[in-house]
Structure 1
Amino acid sequence: MFCTASLALLTYGVAVAVPLGKAQTGEPASLLPKAAGERQYSPPLRAPRTNNVYFGDLHLHTNISTDAYLQGTVATSQADAYRFAMGQTVQTDSGMPARLKRPLDFLAVTDHAENYGLYPGLDAGHPALAGTELEQRWRSVQSIAAEKGLRAAFGSVIRANGPMPELPEKFVRDEWAKSARIADQYNRPGHFTTVIGYEWTGMIKGDNLHRVVLYRDGADQAGKTLPFNAALGNDPEDLWQALESYEASGGQGLAIAHNGNVSNGRMFSPKTVSGQAIDARYAEQRQRWEPVYEATQVKGDGETHPSLSPDDPFADFETWDRYNVAGSTAKEPWMLRYEYARQALIDGLKLEQELGANPFQFGMIGGSDSHTGLATTAEDNFFGKFANGGPSPDRMRDKSAGQPQNNWQLGASGLTAIWAPENTREALFDALKRREVYATTGTRIRLRFFGGWDFTKEELNYADYARIGYERGVPMGSELADGGSGESPVFFLHAIKDPDAANLDRIQIVKGWIDNSGTPREKLFDVALSDSRKPDKNGGIEPVGNTVDVANARYSNSIGDPELMTWWRDPEFDPNQPAFYYVRVLEIPTPRWTTYDAAFYNVPIATGAPEFLQERAYSSPIWYRPTGS
């Protein structure tokens, strides 16, 4: 549809004579690098940076996590999580079978570092726990669990005896090494990638500061360093220091901040945990160790909030804005500014002007944060956050275990999309570091976004426009160097629907910048609309429509477009103003998981629960910095 026959010549090169046989490396000579100036015949070898997109989950818990185990995820192991993500059928803790319609491309099992593997270890009779106070307390829990339930029994024992004693180091070392070996066992480079990681559960007075930690390495390297837990340091700066020590040992790691909407103003605060104003060193460290941010997940969407973006009609999406993560402190209005990705990106521009470094220069990803071992992010296949919130006729009306919200307020979100040359640990990790990634709310929208200075409209029609994007511009997650001409930057935007999901409504660009008076600004541009819609004379846009049949939990792709593609130039660009641009893609309305549940179980939808939603994708930004700034 978008290519021209005359461009076929662009995808072929000159054949090069290659001697037969193998070189000393053992690789066929035809696969060895060519001398400088020689062209490769194979297009992927000529242009290796064109990349492929891979979808997966980088935030998932199994029975190794204490909170998951105590709330019902007893049998679902890390091995089960990998098998499920690979497309196999697994038995859930409720006894219900579950399977993905399409396998994921990658998965990180990120169990909590705190009390890592304790309860499965106690169940298995690990020798390092025998005769310890931990074992004695576990027997006390088991003695009253049948009457009170596992979670309530655990709480009773804690109240009676105080916090759990520290785990023996040998036990943690054994459990972590085993987890790393399991990840290696299921790793299939090129087909399915397992990423070794864990979650550091930093929290202050119930305010969320959690980070997922991921390694580029295999078990031989990652298995040697124990997970850094919040008891050793409850400040993200402590975690960064631990990552620095890990890299000094020969590995590579990164951290992913998540769920800022339940941090009660701490996630993107201009102050450190110790109460000091952010300085340049802090900004540089945060940018180094936290290249991406989890902008959407089961505990609410974190792109923006309607009070922060009042001119954005799509800002109020899967909003959690009443409490912190523990449900212990109510939200105050001032906190919202320091909890959402869009405002943090804007504040980052301002802080960079003041400090010389941007602490909030991050890409955007999505994760499930499921504690069931099941990465289920499709609205019609949602198995809840905890095992006791899995599919049932009553779950919409039940309280979410361990959360202040009702189950119906959970969102079936999200996924991480990564543009990388191949599906391997190394390639995916490197893409995360350079931020060539994007978030989706669970759907598999395919999204490309390039910025440059001299892209033409005609070039977007080329089948290999991505090659042009890489060669003469930058992809999502990058900085666009000042073109020097004063001309406005131009962008290639291309979105394709999930082949098993809904058509697209629109593509939008979100721009944030610092104006000449030093004031942070934001603006939303609708740059591609489906169904040939156009803005009216006042800039208003007719809604795409809604085909959702609530009673039967169905919708029709009779509206919207399967593909949207456009070339866009910023009409309000000022070369003296630092700015960022990111893309938001919206699908047409589709049934929410609560609607699917109501139809499947023939029960009413819970009061207050949305009947439909518009799934979406958020690209990582492209930043512009004026020369000399």
Structure 2
Amino acid sequence: MKKTTLSVIISATLLSSAAQAGETSYSPMAGKDYPQQVFWGDTHLHTSYSFDAAMMGNKGLPPEDAYRFARGEEIRAHNGMIAKLNRPLDFLMVSDHAEYLGLVPMLGAGNDLLLSEPVGQRWAEMLKAGGQESLKAMFEIHHDINNNHKSLANAEVERSAWDAITAAADRYNEPGKFTAFIGYEWTTMPGGNNLHRVVMFADDASKAGQMLPFSSFDSEDPEELWKFLQTYEDKTGGRVLAIPHNGNVSNGLMFALTDRKGQPLTRQYAETRSRWEPVMEVTQIKGDGETHPKLSPDDEFADFETWDKGNLIGLELKTDDMLPYEYARSALKLGLQQEAELGVNPFKLGMIGSSDAHTSLSAVEENNFWGKFSVYEPSAERAAHVPYVKGENGKVFSLRGEEMSASGYAAVWATENTRDALFDAIKRRETYATTGPRMTVRFFGGWDFATDEVSYPDYVDRGYAKGVPMGGDLTQAPADQAPTFMVAASRDPEGANLDRVQIVKGWHDGDGNLQEKVYDVAWSDNRQPNDAGKLPTVGNTVNVDDATWSNSIGSAELTGVWTDPDFGPSERAFYYVRVLQIPTPRWTAYDEHYFDQQRDNDTPDSIQERAYTSPIWYTPALEG
């Protein structure tokens, strides 16, 4: 036995040494360390340990059930139905709110530390009453958090919950098969405006468990969160990052050009933010955050699952001047402008999708959507359901179920399905977002890709050898040469065909203005652009009555090599890919069919699901 073990070690060492030395091998993958597989997951999921999830119906699905469901097991939902994914996920991070972590389960269990306080008794009684009383309690807690009252904050309760969460992640983490990340949500929302981040650890409980989660009770300033992350790494030797949520309910704060004190951004701020926040969540249940039709009026696909009624608790209505500081495309452009002024880009962000579901069920496909809260699990009433509560200012918060989006998932190109490999990939921004379907997208940028290069079977080798992948940087433009981009997209093997592949460019022009343009790169069905350069629509095969569709239109794969026709070698720019599917039924159409109902409203019956890659940035050489 010892002999065999030693020989295996020697062989592995020799192989590793040969690969490092660059020796050739008959095996085409020998010595290659770039990712060959995309992994699917959700980095933003709440369980019964989040106060709002529990008070909106999630009474009995703790982190263990969230991981079991993500791994493909059946879970009984609160509506009595059995829920199961069509395909397991590769990774999941339970990200319960740091504020009052585990509060509601502890109240329900009659925790003496909580019930000894009058406010604890009142919240426990409201929770037990359910319905509007439970909803009012949730908004009381929101108010408590927003005003930093800490009425029922208790470190002992928080420690108990955090230990349970970290232990559950370690228990369900199975390297190479399923990754369970340890994490939580920092839930600061001044005035109801969403500045939330999820905090992701690369580590196990022995490190992540050493410090309690940093909450908005500690500070509502992101810069203080970043200091905490630095302290964590210094103390434990571990690794951690933060992921800002989609900013469409931040009312202009998520990508503001001032800090929390109202001061203009500085180089130090930009460096620190870029250090800790490599990617952003661009699509989720609370709407799509790529762009807005008022920000991108020439983009025919900009108005997708738009959610712009106001901030998180409906206390401040949306105004147009807030929009540029909320959406991903605009934030990426503002980042170029800030880089020109500060020398560092504070918004150099890759893209992922995640759910923000509070049901413990990471299920966001249109025909398997389990809602944001447990009261929105499948039922004949959920689309029209409007929970409401009157706040102290007399305003009423309401949200129709049909306004929620069945979205989204994170796609990560990593070398293996482990915490370290996935974390590394997220840090280098080799990621993309989808609104649910698991379409495969590759994207490379370089200076000399041939027009037919993407057609070669080794196009991925060529992409890494001659250029950079999504999330990468291009510099030092050769004289009189524009960047060339290679993109390949394949449909979800169990999903809809593709309509088109587009490259979205944003740039900071010579006059200091921010520009954007969307280019069609590859498309299906032999369509031809019209005189205005616009493609005809792909068509729509959706049968609303039966909630069905057909792959008789579109393409299973689309590829293209595209050279920027508007390139300015002195202009900072970014490029990302948007892939559009053919139309398919929206989740509301599946509901109508399953529950045999007809609704007369403006909710679309079909949508075009999509993917957004992380950008590739171009930075001109420094003058002088």
Give 1:351's aligned residue: 338
What does residue 535 of structure 2 align with?
Answer: 541
Q: Measure, in 2, the Cα distance between the counterparts of 1:148 and 1:512.
A: 46
Let me know the Cα RMSD of the aligned residues: 2.2
Q: Which residue of 1 aligns with 2:369?
A: 382
Amino acid at match of 2:55: L
Shift of 1:52: 1.1
Q: Distance in 2 between matches of 1:128 and 1:282?
A: 40
Shift of 1:315: 0.3
TM-superposed deviation, 1:509: 0.5
Asked whether 1:504 is paired with 2:498, we answer yes
1:539 alignment partner, SS class: coil
Partner residue of 1:294?
281
- Please give the TM-score of this superposition, normalised by the length of structure 1: 0.93
Corresponding position of 1:448:
442
Contact 1:158 1:164 in 2 (8 A): no
Residue number in structure 2 paired with 1:16: none
- Report the alpha carbon displacement of residue 29 of structure 1 after superposing the two structures with TM: 4.7
Pick from 461, 465, 474 the counterpart of residue 471 of structure 1.
Answer: 465
Structure 2 residue runs without a partner (length 5+): 390-396
Which of 207, 214, 238 is the equivalent residue of 1:228? 214
For 2:138 and 2:356, locate their aligned partners in 1 and report how far apart those are by CA, in whole Å.
22
In the alignment, the residues of structure 1 paired with residue 54 and residue 91 of structure 2 have an alpha-carbon distance, to the nearest angstrom, of 24
Q: Are 1:280 and 2:253 counterparts?
A: no
Match of 1:405 among 392, 399, 406: 399
Aligned mate of 2:551, from 551, 557, 560:
557
1:172 aligns with 2:166: no
The CA deviation at 1:441 is 0.5
Identity within the alignment, %:
49
Q: Is the 8 A contact 2:242 2:276 kept in 1?
A: yes
Which of 121, 144, 163 is residue 106 of structure 2 equivalent to? 121
Residue 56 of structure 2 contacts residue 375 of structure 2 at CA under 8 Å; is this kept in 1?
Answer: yes
Q: Give the 5 Å matches for 1:149-548.
A: 149-152=133-136, 165-249=151-235, 250-399=237-386, 404-548=398-542
Distance 1:533 1:119, change over 3 A: same
Deviation at 1:126, TM superposition (A): 4.8
Contact 1:280 1:356 in 2 (8 A): yes
User: Which SS does the other structure have where 2:268 is aligned?
Assistant: helix
Paired residues of 2:55 and 2:127 also in contact (CA < 8 A): no
> Which residue of structure 2 aligns with residue 79 of structure 1?
64
Which residue number in structure 2 is paired with residue 100 of structure 1? 85
SS at match of 2:6: coil
User: Which letter does structure 1 place at the counterpart of 2:447?
Assistant: W
Q: Report if aligned partners of 1:595, 1:605 keep a CA contact under 8 Å in 2.
A: no
When residues 21 and 220 of structure 1 are mapped into structure 2, their CA distance, relative to the original with a 3 A threshold, is: closer
- Counterpart of 1:54 in structure 2 is 39
CA distance in 2, matches of 1:22, 1:486: 57
Q: Check if 1:583 corresponds to 2:577.
A: yes
Counterpart of 2:393 in structure 1 is none
Task: Answer whether contact 2:243 2:279 (CA < 8 A) is retained.
Answer: yes
Once the two structures are TM-superposed, the CA of residue 519 in structure 1 deviates from its matched residue by 1.1
Establish whether residue 572 from structure 1 lines up as the match of residue 566 from structure 2: yes
Looking at structure 1, the residues matched to 39 and 497 of structure 2 have their Cα atoms a distance apart, in angstroms, of: 20
- Note the alpha carbon deviations across 1:129-179, whole angstroms, 9 max, x for none: 574556534543356x1685423356689999x956243222212211221
Task: State the alpha-carbon separation in 1 of the partners of residues 550 and 283 from structure 2.
Answer: 26
Q: CA deviation at 1:241?
A: 0.9
Q: Distance in 2 between matches of 1:344 and 1:157?
A: 31
- Residue 111 of structure 1 corresponds to 96
1:48-99 superposed Cα distances (whole Å, 9 cap, x missing partner)? 2143101111100000000000010010111110010111100112222100
11, 26, 49: which one aligns with 1:64: 49
Aligned 8 A contact 2:79 2:378 in 1: no
Q: Distance in 2 between matches of 1:514 and 1:147?
A: 51
Deviation at 1:598, TM superposition (A): 0.7
- Does structure 2 retain, via aligned residues, the 8 Å contact 1:50–1:466? no
TM superposition shift of 1:45: 3.3
Partners of 1:27 and 1:258 in 2: CA distance: 46
Q: 1:28-43 to 2 correspondence within 5 Å?
A: 28-29=12-13, 32-34=16-18, 36-43=21-28
Does the 8 Å CA contact 1:502/1:588 hold for their aligned counterparts?
Answer: yes
Quote the Cα distance in structure 1 between the aligned partners of 2:141 and 2:496: 49
Flag the 1:395–1:44 CA change in 2: closer, same or farther, 3 A: same
SS at match of 1:205: helix
Q: For structure 1, which segment, 300-309 or 457-466, has the greater mean C-alpha deviation from structure 2 after superposition?
A: 457-466
3-state SS of paired residue (1:43): coil
**TM-score w.r.t. structure 2 length?**
0.93
The range that moved more, 453-462 or 321-330, is 453-462
CA distance in structure 1 between the partners assigned to 2:511 and 2:612 by the alignment: 29
Q: Which amino acid aligns with 1:74?
A: K
- CA gap of 1:515–1:135, structure 2 versus 1, over 3 A, is closer
**Which region of structure 1 is more displaced relative to structure 2, 284-293 or 394-403?**
394-403
